[in-house]
Chain A
């Protein structure tokens, strides 16, 4: 069944889009990742204009992060104070990101920047997950324990000024690092249509030394509001949020996440991570190939904006 998307201005197969939402939903259910960093490239591969894919995916992430954040909130696993500081950074970053987006769009380079950002991001994340997965699989086979690095209690992060107390996380640290992390996440959300959890979560654990049990809930809390803002800013500045596309993705994602959560319990964690790494690297490779291979149309023709 085909459907004409009013903003993307292309006809799409409803089941393909629903299925893409579903598959990415399964992955997020299995791995606890948001999935934006897979969804946006898939939409672009399917023929959705990159600027529409980014803005619409931000809209979808709002829905998935709300349901996720609620689950963590019920388990009291959200540090609202830390989340709010990260959010302040996120708001600043979103505005910077949108300005950058509009600037690059007017230069005619936004599609290139979106693709390049994904190649870099997926390349590094994929490699990390892949290595990590390999290492733990080998370790598992040899039945030796992986040496856990003893973490230092204090790093340079803890000697910065403007310190405040975060009761929930049991920290007394400067607000500068979380604000900077928030800004980075906000910029990424605006330009790439991702929640940014995959950057925020490791940063919270390794840089801020937050306890792991509150990390995901806190990042989801921040993502809800940052992606909401990013959606509104894209709609306002670029008119690129396709609400019809977003709704199909949301419904696919809901179904997928339920299946994924059930599947996740049955499969071995290391194997899963290994698979996820391969998948991310494959998407990255496809993106890179599209940049490097001589394009079929040497001229990019669009309506002139006057």
Chain B
């Protein structure tokens, strides 16, 4: 945390003195400029969640009168849902329901409640807010509502869906910063970071950039081998076990 703060202060200084080039090349008047601290995130074998530091400024603009929303979104995927039903006194899975177009990660960070920042229609247009997400399924709406709620609830618990209306701090009236929590369960891939700048309920500017999450070290290697060369991986696992067993057999023989 301390290191984060130090890094952040340093960045601010560098931005103010124009040392770090910001993502927009033409920093004209009234332009949103943003920076992501480290767009490459590595998941090691001891990954416990990481923080993604996003900050920026709106040049020539007093931030105290404006609103900012940051959206981080992962690639959409399909989920398999099975309702548990009680049969013969035990809980078993019912038949499968497939639901498409669910973001693998979705986080909204803002400086206040997004419903006060812009109209529902505008938010929906920009896909801002968990309630603006459209999951696709092919069955009646009553049931799909319940299931969508279950998906949202579960993803919120896992930290895969988040909404933090106090997640952006505006410093002075020039800079904003936010540290976005990436959970332990986050998958490898590209994540889109969108920053929206609102004024008087209107979208003034926005900026999109990408963050890459990589699995590194032994974790990634093992995962890839298990999925790409499953037979070889299986044989290798067995050989390790044979080696371990033979070593133990050897040790107990010496005794």
B residues within 8 A CB of A74? 253
**B237 close to A241 (CB less than 8 A):** yes
Q: Given A66-B245, A67-B252, are A304 and B240 neighbors across the interface (CB < 8 Å)?
A: no
Are B222's CB and A3's CB within 8 A? no
* Residue B213 is within 8 A (CB to CB) of chain A in the complex: no
Q: Confirm or deny: A153 has a beta carbon within 8 angstroms of a beta carbon on chain B.
A: no
The reply to whether A291 and B218 form a contact with Cβ atoms under 8 Å apart is no
A residues less than 8 Å from B20 (CB atoms): none
- The minimal Cβ–Cβ distance linking A12 to chain B, given in whole angstroms, is 11
* Alpha-carbon gap, A116 to B218, bound state (A): 35
Q: Which of B46, B98, B230, B234 contacts A2 (CB 8 A)?
A: B46
Partner of A228, one of B78, B222, B223, B241: B241
Residue of B nearest to A110 (CB): B93
Q: Which of B46, B92, B147 contacts A109 (CB 8 A)?
A: B92
Surface stretch bound by A, among B60-68, B83-91, B203-211? B83-91
- CB-based contact A108/B93 at 8 Å: yes
B145 at the binding interface (Cβ < 8 Å): no
On whether A65 and B98 interact (CB within 8 A), knowing A232-B231, A294-B86, A298-B150, the answer reads no
Asked if A299 meets B81 with Cβ closer than 8 Å, knowing A239-B227, A243-B240, the reply is yes
Check B47–A66 contact: CB distance below 8 A. no
Q: Are A4 and B241 in contact (CB under 8 A)?
A: no
Interface residue count for A (Cβ, 8 Å)? 57
Decide yes or no whether B113 CB sits under 8 A from chain A.
no
Tell whether A236 pairs with B234 under 8 Å between CB atoms, given A6-B222, A299-B154: yes
CA distance A251 to B243 in the complex (A): 12
- Per-residue interface assignment for chain A, residues 230 to 252, with 1 indicating a CB less than 8 Å from any chain B CB and 0 otherwise: 01111111010111101100110
Known contacts A4-B43, A250-B241; A71/B249 CB under 8 A: yes
Q: Say whether A246 contacts B237, CB under 8 Å.
A: yes
A231 vs B90: C-alpha distance when bound (angstroms): 30
CA distance A297 to B150 in the complex (A): 8
Q: Is A301 an interface residue (CB 8 A)?
A: yes
B244 contacts A by Cβ under 8 Å:
yes
A6 to B: closest C-beta gap in Å: 4
Give the distance to chain B from A65, nearest Cβ to Cβ, in Å. Answer: 7
What 0/1 readout, one digit per residue, does chain B (37-55) give for beta carbons within 8 Å of chain A? 0000001111110000000
Q: Does A60 contact B (CB under 8 A)?
A: yes
Q: Is the CB of B230 within 8 A of A235?
A: yes
Find the B residue at minimum CB distance from A71: B252
Q: For the complex, what is the distance from the CA of A182 to the CA of B249, rounded to whole Å?
A: 25
Mark interface residues in A67-105 (1 if CB within 8 Å of B CB, else 0).
100110010000000000000000000000000000000
Q: Which residues of B contact A (CB under 8 A)?
A: 43-48, 77-84, 86, 89-93, 95-96, 98-99, 147, 150-151, 154, 184-185, 215, 218-220, 222-223, 226-227, 230-231, 233-238, 240-242, 244-246, 248-249, 252-253
Kindly list 7 other residue pairs between chains A and B, CB separation below 8 angstroms, not including A71-B252, A233-B234, A236-B234.
Answer: A2-B46, A6-B222, A6-B226, A239-B230, A243-B237, A243-B240, A301-B151
Closest 8 CB pairs of A and B: A66-B245, A235-B234, A70-B249, A62-B241, A232-B234, A304-B78, A67-B248, A63-B241
